[in-house]
Amino acid sequence: MTGPHASATPHQPKDVAKYLLPDEKLVVSTRRHGAVLVLPAAKSLPVLVAALWLLGVSPNAVVTGLGLVLLVAALGYLAVHVGEWWIRHFLITQRRVMLISGFVVRTVAVMPLRRITDMTWQETPFGQLLGYGTFRFESAGQDQALSEISYLPHADQLYLSVSELLFGKDFGGANSSEEEESLAGGQQPRRPAPPRSAPPPPTARGRQDTAPLPSLGAPGPQEPPSRWPRRT
């Protein structure tokens, strides 16, 4: 594993290059520490010893067959964990964090750098002695596959590389690196649109008076005089 503080560029395996974008730069590329294989080896060792003992204790076919079954099971269990260790890669680019895993079914977990809100680095006493640690990422979403990554080697270099990538560039982090790439490519950085001015207040309209209502006590129109004299 190498990072910004190392002199060489990060090693990019062939099975990892196909998951990167054409313009994506690899900052960190590492497998887990070999200490992750200690527990599977400790579990398979008693079974392996028992298988070898059964194979050498008696020429009986049943005992020999049982010893072969135990031997294949122990070696198969250890081979699966070694294959998983070989396939599992922890990658960090200038844009995202990726975890490639799966010996039979390949799985790629991705989390953008801009979504990382907090990071915790933990080293146990054995981790400090052997040089590995555990990363814990907290993000706005729910990326359970990337919430905790254990047995990461080169503890000091990895911590400094990730911290500089996330919180470097005067606390600009990943956003500042994207702006530098746009400037290097001759593109102008995006500027926020100016705020819209508030619309002018509506002007007060002139008063429009309506015709007065007729009074209830006013006399109505008078009838015209009749042409015929009234009878008395």
* 11-22 tens-digit pLDDT: 666 677 788 888
How far CA 228 is from CA of 134, 221, 222, 225, 231, in Å, comes to 121, 21, 17, 9, 9
* 33-77 tens-digit pLDDT: 999 999 999 999 999 999 999 888 777 888 888 989 999 999 999
Q: Write out the chain's pLDDT in tens, 232 residues.
A: 434 344 334 566 667 778 888 888 888 888 999 999 999 999 999 999 999 998 887 778 888 889 899 999 999 999 999 999 998 989 988 888 889 888 888 888 888 888 888 888 888 898 888 889 888 888 776 556 678 888 999 877 888 888 888 776 544 455 444 544 443 444 555 555 555 666 666 555 555 555 555 555 555 555 555 555 555 4
Question: What stretch of H or E contains 81?
Answer: helix 61-87
Confidence at residue 195, expressed as pLDDT on a 0 to 100 scale: 59
Q: Please tell me the distance from the alpha carbon of residue 213 to that of residue 191, in angstroms, as a whole number.
A: 62
Q: Please tell me the distance from the alpha carbon of residue 207 to that of residue 185, in angstroms, as a whole number.
A: 63
By three-state DSSP, how is residue 16 classified?
helix
**pTM > 0.85:** no
Cβ burial of 133 (10 Å; 0-12, 13-18, 19+) is buried
